Amino acid sequence: MAGEVAYELAKKQREISVAEFFERNKHILGFGNPTRAIVTAVKEAVDNSLDACEDAGILPDIIVEVRRGERENELMMIVEDNGPGIVEKQIPPIFGKLLYGSRFHSIRQSRGQQGIGISAVVLYGQLSTGKHARIISKIGPDRPAYLFEIGIDTHRNSPEIIRKDIINWDKEHGTRIEIYLVGDYSRGRKYLYEYLQNTSIVNPHARIEFIEPNGERHVFERVADELPKPTVELKKPHPHGIEMGTLLKMLKETKTKKLLNFLKNEFISMGERTSMAVCEKASLDPDMNPKELTREQAMRLLNAFKEVKIMAPPTDCLSPIGELLIKRSLKHETREISPEFIVATTRSPSVYSGHPFQVEAGIVYGGKLDRESPVKILRFANRVPLLYQQGECVTTIALSNIDWRRYGLEQRGGKGIPVGPAIFFIHVASTHVPFTSESKEAIADIPEIENEVKLALRECARKMQQHISKKEKRKKTKEKFLLITKILPEIARKSASMLNKPVPNIDSVVTKIMDVVWIDDHIEYERVKRIQKSLDEFSSREEHGCITKIRITVVNYKRRPLKFDLYAVKPSEAIVGFVNPKPVKITDKYIKWSLPTIQPTEKFEIYFELAGLKEGDFDENELYVEGIKPEYVIGANKWEGE
Dist CA 417 CA 373 (whole Å): 10
Contact 288, 258 (CB under 8 A): yes
Dist CA 101 CA 93 (whole Å): 9
In the complex, what is the shortest distance from the CB of residue 375 to another protein, in angstroms, rounded to a whole number? 33
**DSSP-derived secondary structure for 70-128:** SSTTEEEEEEEE-S----GGGHHHHHHSTT--SSTT-BS--S--SS-HHHHHHHHHHHH
**DSSP-derived secondary structure for 26-70:** TTTTT-SSHHHHHHHHHHHHHHHHHHHHHHHT---EEEEEEEE-S
Quick one: 347 or 480, whose CB is closer to another protein? 480
Phi, psi (rounded to 5 degrees) for 482: -60, -40
Quick one: 168 or 505, whose CB is closer to another protein? 505
Quick one: 303 or 485, whose CB is closer to another protein? 485
Q: How many of the other CB atoms lie within 10 Å of CB of 192? A: 24
Q: How many CA atoms are closer than 13 Å to the CA of 354, on its beta-carbon side? A: 19
Summarize as ranges the residues that interact with another protein (CB under 8 A): 479-480, 482-483, 486-488, 490-492, 494-499, 501, 504, 506, 508-509, 512-513
Please list, in sequence order, all residues whose beta carbon lies within 8 angstroms of the beta carbon of residue 475, skipping any fewer than 6 positions away. none
Cα–Cα–Cα angle for 422, 423, 425, rounded to 5 degrees: 140
Contact 2, 8 (CB under 8 A): no
Please list, in sequence order, all residues whose beta carbon lies within 8 angstroms of the beta carbon of residue 135, skipping any fewer than 6 positions away. 86, 91, 95, 146, 147, 148, 149, 150, 175, 176, 177, 178
Quick one: 312 or 488, whose CB is closer to another protein? 488
In the complex, what is the shortest distance from the CB of residue 462 to another protein, in angstroms, rounded to a whole number? 30
Give the torsion through C-alpha atoms of 445, 448, 454, 456, to 10 deg. Answer: -120
Amino acid, res. 464: M
In the complex, what is the shortest distance from the CB of residue 633 to another protein, in angstroms, rounded to a whole number? 19
Quick one: 312 or 483, whose CB is closer to another protein? 483
In the complex, what is the shortest distance from the CB of residue 433 to another protein, in angstroms, rounded to a whole number? 53
Phi, psi (rounded to 5 degrees) for 552: -115, 130
Quick one: 87 or 496, whose CB is closer to another protein? 496
In the complex, what is the shortest distance from the CB of residue 492 to another protein, in angstroms, rounded to a whole number? 5
Quick one: 20 or 479, whose CB is closer to another protein? 479
In 3-state terms, what secondary structure has residue 378? strand
Quick one: 481 or 632, whose CB is closer to another protein? 481
Task: Report which of 37, 32, 97 is spatially closest to residue 66, judged by C-alpha positions.
Answer: 37
> % helix / strand / coil in the chain, to the nearest 5?
35, 25, 40
In the complex, what is the shortest distance from the CB of residue 560 to another protein, in angstroms, rounded to a whole number? 15
In 3-state terms, what secondary structure has residue 10? helix
In the complex, what is the shortest distance from the CB of residue 515 to another protein, in angstroms, rounded to a whole number? 10
In the complex, what is the shortest distance from the CB of residue 600 to another protein, in angstroms, rounded to a whole number? 12
Contact 170, 24 (CB under 8 A): no
Dist CA 411 CA 394 (whole Å): 19
Q: How many CA atoms are closer than 13 Å to the CA of 252, on its beta-carbon side? A: 8
Amino acid, res. 165: D
Beta bridge partners of 426: 361, 379
In the complex, what is the shortest distance from the CB of residue 604 to another protein, in angstroms, rounded to a whole number? 24
In the complex, what is the shortest distance from the CB of residue 491 to another protein, in angstroms, rounded to a whole number? 5
Quick one: 602 or 622, whose CB is closer to another protein? 602
Quick one: 253 or 472, whose CB is closer to another protein? 472
In the complex, what is the shortest distance from the CB of residue 601 to another protein, in angstroms, rounded to a whole number? 13
Dist CA 357 CA 345 (whole Å): 15
In the complex, what is the shortest distance from the CB of residue 186 to another protein, in angstroms, rounded to a whole number? 47
Quick one: 105 or 501, whose CB is closer to another protein? 501
Quick one: 59 or 513, whose CB is closer to another protein? 513
Quick one: 71 or 493, whose CB is closer to another protein? 493
DSSP character at residue 346: E
Quick one: 497 or 587, whose CB is closer to another protein? 497
- β-strand pairing of 158-167 with 145-153: antiparallel
In the complex, what is the shortest distance from the CB of residue 632 to another protein, in angstroms, rounded to a whole number? 17
Contact 484, 516 (CB under 8 A): no
Quick one: 455 or 488, whose CB is closer to another protein? 488
In the complex, what is the shortest distance from the CB of residue 511 to another protein, in angstroms, rounded to a whole number? 9
In the complex, what is the shortest distance from the CB of residue 466 to another protein, in angstroms, rounded to a whole number? 25
Dist CA 626 CA 592 (whole Å): 10
In the complex, what is the shortest distance from the CB of residue 477 to another protein, in angstroms, rounded to a whole number? 11
Please list, in sequence order, all residues whose beta carbon lies within 8 angstroms of the beta carbon of residue 402, skipping any fewer than 6 positions away. 454, 457, 458, 461
**DSSP-derived secondary structure for 558-616:** SSS-B--EEEEE--TT-EEEEEES--SEE-SSEEEEEPPPB-TT-EEEEEEEEES--TT
Dist CA 376 CA 554 (whole Å): 40
Quick one: 28 or 482, whose CB is closer to another protein? 482
Dist CA 563 CA 604 (whole Å): 11
